[in-house]
Structure formats: C-alpha cells, structure tokens
Amino acid sequence: MKSINNTLCPALLCVVLALCAPVAALADVASPGVDAVKACLEGRGDAVTAPGRIFWARTEASCRSFAAPWRYREHAYELYYDDSRSLARIAYALALHARDIDLSLPVERFLGGLLGFHYSVDQVCDWLNDVIAGQSPDPALDEAVLAGLLLSDRVIAFHKGRFTPTGRVRHVLAASAGKKRSFDSVLLHERLHVFWDEDAAFRERMTREWEALPEERKAAEKKALVRYAADNEAQLLEEWAIKEAERTNMDLR
C-alpha cells in the first residue's frame, strides 16, 4: 500500500478542517417531494437540492440556478462563489496540472481573471495522486480546501493511499461574477464544458466546424484564446466550441 508522503501532511490539515464543516449527505438527485428552491433558501443543506455548495448569500435567483434541472445537473458538483479570487485560489494548481495554463501566466493575472472552472472528477484525482507521488507541487491551503470539500461530500474517496472517484458525480465546476460578466453567464459557460464531455453529438458537430474553419480564421480564434496554453489544441478546440454554443444560446435541457 502506498502511503502519503510527509510533504503533503501540512496541506491535509486544511482538508481535515474542511471535513469538519457541517454538510448534508450528498444526494444523487434531488430528494422526492422536496421543493429544491425552498430547501436551498432555508439553508437545509445544499446537497438536499443538488450536488455542490453555495458560498454566498442565498437568494431566490441563486437557489433557482443551483436547483435548475439542466440535462447533466445530477452529474455535476457545482460551487457558487461571491468572490472570484477565492474561487481562483482553489484552482491554480489544478489548472496547471491539467495544462489549461502554463507557468508563463503570472499568478496574479490568473487570480484576477478567473471567474469559473470545470474539471472532471478523474482530473481532480489525477492531480491529487500526482501530489502524493511527488510529481506535482504540494497544494496550497486553499487548494487543499477543495480536496476537503470533495472528500466531505463524498465526490472523491481516499483508499489505500490513493484518491479515487466515488462515482456519485462526474464533474466539478465553479462560478462567480466579474465586473463585466454576470454570474449566470459564467455558470452557463462552465455547464457547457460538462456538455462537451458528456454529449458526443455536440462534441462531434463542433469538431467538424472547427476543422472546416479557414486557417486564417482558426489562427484568429486561437489568438482570442491566448490565456490558454497555446500548445494544447484539444483545450483550444473545447473553449472555442463553448464560445460558439454561448453565442447561439444553446439549450441545456
């Protein structure tokens, strides 16, 4: 059995703190007969309505978003933030590990610019297991909080020295508002990333459209996506497809 290396232990203190936070047991779907919006507003536990957490004042609008029955809601663990920098701080190491960004992007620019993210639960586990193996840097306290939340809400588990998905949900996404972009807009963007992973027809259609673009247009689209790692063609394609789906107001039901 592989043991946790000692360098991870300080960060895991933060995970323990997160595990101690009171939370309802994660439900696979909304409980039968539960008014999801009402339950959310009353603070009966986020997981009563859907997988995830809300880290801001609960309003009817935010609770309606959280409980919205879009096509893949039961497969997505959603995190809502009122402070985008808090959201960004939990995601930096994961973004590097997934090669969504590289070290040429200044940390402060990342913290000041990120409004949302989406990763599969498998990607989260791959990152944490590489940390244990010494192949990725130790997580900062905020990043360890993310691991703690996912452990606490049974999205991931730690068994025989490794992090593994529990199978309860397949995606983790987070959203916040920016000065020029609404929370709803960011949330739609991140939910579309789930669509990209889950919906083969959507993926295939957008891939055909991308490949059919003239080289000059494709170069311009890549330039517009400069904040992503330029050598990650798959990520550039996905981000372009999401942008096009947003432009055409794609229905998520």
Of all residues in the chain, the percent with pLDDT exceeding 90 is 47
Mean local confidence (pLDDT), 231-239 = 83
pLDDT score at 158: 87
pTM: 0.82
pLDDT in tens, 151-201: 888 899 988 889 999 999 999 999 999 999 999 999 999 999 999 999 999
What CA–CA distance (Å, rounded) separates 229 from 105?
Answer: 9
Domain ranges of the chain: 6-179, 199-253
pLDDT in tens, 74-85: 999 999 999 999
pLDDT score at 230: 63
- Whether residue 159 contacts residue 216, with contact meaning beta carbons closer than 8 Å, is answered with no
Residues 6+ positions from 69 with CB-CB distance below 8 Å:
253
What CA–CA distance (Å, rounded) separates 118 from 77?
Answer: 10
What CA–CA distance (Å, rounded) separates 88 from 101?
Answer: 13
What CA–CA distance (Å, rounded) separates 201 from 199?
Answer: 6
pLDDT in tens, 55-110: 887 888 888 898 888 999 999 999 999 999 999 999 999 999 998 888 888 899 99
pLDDT score at 137: 87
